[in-house]
Structure formats: C-alpha cells, structure tokens
Structure 1
Amino acid sequence: MKINLFVAGMLLCSAGAHAQNMFSTSSSHPADTVMSEPHEQALRYPFLRQASVTASVFGSGHFDSKLNGKDFASGKSSNARISSFFSIPISSWDGNTIGATIYHNEQFFNIKEANNQLAEPRVDEGDIAKSTLGLSLNFSRIDAIFHTPVIYSAVFTGMSDDLKALRRFNFNGSVSFPLKRSRDVYFSLGALVLIDPSAPFPVLPLVNYFRKLNSSGLELTLVLPQSVSLKQSLSRNAWIYVGTTANTYASFYKTSNPALPARYSYNTSELKSGPGFEYLLGKYVLLGVSGGVNSIITARTIAKGSSYNDAFIKTTAKSTPYGEFHISLLPF
C-alpha cells in the first residue's frame, strides 16, 4: 500500500492543471492509484494530465456592474479564452514529491451596447485582450496518522501579465484522508486552505468520490469543490460525459484614471455545465469537445493589496452558451 500511496503523491505533483484555478491546484486529490495506472488516472482526472491546450468561445450575455455600491455600467459582453498548461515532475523521495506547472491564459472580451451611469470612470465598447502567466510549485507528502493514510499538499503560485513583475502570490494548502479504496470505489475527505485575495472563502471542504456504476464502463466522479461528472465509455479509446466544472480566472490592469486604483484585477468564478466527448489518439494524445452553459458565479474587480470582500466593482452576468475544444497529453 505504501508504494501505491507514493504513486499518488507523484500524481499530485503534476496536478497543477489550470494553475490559475484556486480549486484545482491542490483541492482535487486523485484516487490513490490502488490497482490503477497513471494513464487511467489522467483519463479520469483532467488535472493530472501532462499538458493541455483549451480553446473556449462564449455567447453574448448581459452584465450589470456596481461601483462602490452605486450603479456603474451595463451592456453585453462576448468572450473567448485560450488556456494552456504544462506540468513538470521535479523530484521525489521518502514519500515526498515536488513538481511545477507553467500556464498561460489569454482572454478576449468584446463589449457592446455599453450603458454608463457615471461620468467617470466609463466602460468603453470594443475589444480587450488580456494575458495571464503563472508558475506553480507543488509539494505533497504521503504519510499516516494512527495508521490512517493521509495526503498533505501545498501549492505556491506566482502570477503575472508580462513576466516583468509578480502581480499576485497565492498559497493553497490541503490535507486529505483516503477512507475507502478499491478498483471500483474511492472515497476521501479533507480540507483546503486558500490564501488568495480573489477567494470567496478561506477554507473549503474536500470530497473525492469515484465509483464504477456497472460493467459497461459507466463511472461517477465527484471532486468537490471542483467538478462532478458522469462518464460512459463508447470504446477502448472514446468516451462521452456530462458534468459541471468550476474554474476561476484573473486578469490584471493598470490605469492612470484618478477614479480607479492604479492597479487592479478582474476575477471571475465560473461553472461550465454540459456534455462532452473525448477520443484517445494513439497512446498519449487526447482530443475533446464539449459545450453547454457557462454561469458566472462571482465577478469582482479588486484593487492591488485588497481582498475579495473589498472589491470596488461587483458585476452580475447572465449565463451564456459555450463551446470548447481541447487537446491534452497524458503522462509520459
């Protein structure tokens, strides 16, 4: 069992998929690989893949914003996003593992039908493109407390928009207790601590539940607070699924407008819900398409040095349809 848990630690170090996402970088612990190979784990858990590029397109949706509690602006926004990451195992020893994740996120916003309620500042119509770069260092340790397995994990993330300066530093720490492990069922409970100015909550519960529902390949995977999915194999290399995934995104801004802070960030927490299809091309390349409804749970603009509750702009937006394509590499 010690060897199997050690393999889990190695997988955790590569679990930086979407490192910008406060949920996925340390909150989602995979099954501890009892009778399971890394490729099977990576097919089941997208955040365990070696690398990935995802292109997403979102329909136009209405938004309303308030500035310091006053009506600020409204209009319509259509967005697109290209996200990529690459995970790098660094070292492992005595149940400890260290890895790194490099990521890039490019967001495109198109604003139209802007209706400004204030003289200053104003929301301008047109296109905006923002790039976010990041590096995460991931550490995990497999241990035991009173003969009960426990997985510790820590993720240190630096974020920038131009590689010239660090715009934000985040820390995620988690502990998880595997309670049931078999080929067909896995269940663990734990807690996640977030030191992140864009995090709505400093502590979140962790729940990882996986179950093979029948012999035809139907699987239920629950990884809270990140995702839930129901997946059915069509063949050895093809799967369909339906589910919901939570993600967070940030973009950084600088302005000389006296009505705004000199530096601030725009932060969203989003839920994508709908069906998808994945196909394994060869041994390592996984292609996927999905679509459905994207819901923005929170959208807040935060001055540098401030926190989620101090956001000076709060935005609400209607759900929009989305389409997505991704190409991923399984662990080498």
Structure 2
Amino acid sequence: MAVKAGTAGEAGTAREARADAASSAEENRRRVRKLAAEAIGTFLLVLGGVGTAVLAGDFMGTLGVALAFGLTLVVLMYVIGPVSGCHVNPAVTIGLCAAKKIAPKDAVAYIVAQCVGAIVAAAAIYLIADAGPFGYSARMQGLGANGYGAHSPAGFGLGGAFLAEVLLTGLLVFTCLGATHIQAPVGFAGIAIGFVLAVCNLVSIPVDNTGVNPARSLGPAVFAGGWALSQLWLFIVAPIVGALVAAAVHRVLRPEPGVRLSTAARALPSESEARIAQETARLLKMPVGAPRHLADGRRAPAGAEDPAKVGAGSAAGRPGRGPDGFRDRDWNRDQDQPGDDTGGC
C-alpha cells in the first residue's frame, strides 16, 4: 500500500510539473505576442504618420499629417489593442506604469519593442524617400525629426517646445487613462485617443514637428543624426514628465474601484477572475433583472423598481435594468475592456 501511495504521489507531482511547464510556455508565448504587437504597431504608426510628413507633406499639409497620425492610431487601437493594449508609445507605457496598470518589467520590454519598431519604420521611410527622382538626404532634410530653435518649423525655442511636449503628452496620456477606465463607455477608447493624437499634431507641428512619443522621435533622429540626436533629449524627457503628471492627476480624479488591471504576463488578473466568477454564480441564483438587494437578502430600498416589472419591461423589448441599476447592456460588461490587459491605451 505504501508503494502504491508513493507511486500515486509521484504521478501527481509529475502532472503538476507538466501543467506548470505548459502554463509557463503559454505565458511566454503570450508575452512574445504582446511585444510583437507593440513593435508592429509602432512601426505602422511611424510609417503612417512620419511617412505622410516626409513623402506627402507638401501635398497634405499640417491637417493631412495630423489626420494621418490620428487615423492610424484609431485603426491600431482596434487591430492590436486586444493583443497588447496598443500603447505604441513609451510615454503612454510609462504613464500606465505610474498608474499601476502595467508592471515595471513589462513596461521596459514594451518600450524596447516600441523603439525597435520606430527605428525600422524610419529606415523604411528613408529607403522609400531615397528612391525618389532626386534622392533624399536624411541629414539635410531631417526625415521628419523633431526639433526646436533653428530646426522648428516656425522657429519656436527650447522653452516653447518643452512646454508643448509636456502639456500635449499629458493630454494624450490622460485621455488614454480616462478612455480605458473601467467606468468609461465601452468601444469608444480608440476613437477618443486617435482624435486626441490628431489634435496634438495640429497644435504642435508648427512648434517642433510634434513628438509626444519618444519612439517616434527616436526613429527619424537615428537617421538624421547631428542636430536631431543632440536635441532628442527634449523629446524624451518632456513626454515622460507629461505622462507622469497625467498619471498623477488621473489617480486623484478617477481612482480604480478596487480592480487592478493585469500585467503583460497575464491575460486577466486573478482579482477580476474571482469577481467575475462570484458575480456569475450570484446571478445564476437570481431572477432575471432582479435588483442586487434580493441576492444580498436585504429589504428593497424605498422607491425600488418591482423586479417583475423590470423583467416584463425587458421581455417586452424595453431595456430593463441590471442588479447595479444600469441598463442590461451596460451593467454586466467585463471588468477589463478589450486590449486593457496591460493597462490599455
């Protein structure tokens, strides 16, 4: 009997080890997918935005370039958002990290992937531009690099460029945090964030070609060299400052109601899984449309709706109300919105 018990114990341990190994492998695959999505997304953002400025800026003008950045981001939010959260911007990742929506180690990996994507995109833009009838000099023409002083489109100095980058990056990150908040309307985050990026470009293209994204600034600067690299510090420091300020303001104005979004290493946080499981189990024991006080065993508050009427309203095609008082289509949405498993942008 002792031998059999020992054999059974060893078999159980082996099964647990295999399960742990499989879980670890899946976790690593998920992490790789997220980093690949960030690299590809940043590549496409820089290609769409900076590419428009370099290759079609004379035809499109400031408005066209701003829309190219904004609309590209809108598309990316819905394409790679469910995979990685669609940060595609180190400033956004740092802001989300400061808001405790992504772990620092995952944030570092995201930033590396974003910078790689931006540099590859800048290389692609340069190769396309250089194939034109007159060639292209990245050092002379800038390749869409950000700059101030003599390299500002309208001659703005260091102070103006720094302030613009802080304020506009803060606006962008604040929008990312607000639009992906658990209480925000579902499905509109991509539109809001994309249009805010377009506004940022409309405001600051004349100032410094619009950075608000250290990866976007890094890519062209690598190929432009010289003045672009010497001024790059501003387009790294100022966006980070703006992101940290935005995260601090967001945490004061809209604290998360006890739910921390997961890191890049997990698809859903255990807290959310537990809450979803508890809510599902509770609802299965309740009449459809019944208010929360029935499940909690409390008396109905004064003026509460009759559950029968609520259910009848839903059955008749009118929107009933869920146990939290919200309409049926709103109250039972997931705790983590699509793409928010790493903070969501």
TM bucket by the smaller chain? under 0.3
Whose Rg is larger? 2
Higher relative contact order (CA 8 A, sep 6+): 2
TM-score, structure 1 as length reference: 0.21
Greater share of helix residues, 1 or 2?
2
Greater share of strand residues, 1 or 2?
1
TM-score, structure 2 as length reference: 0.21
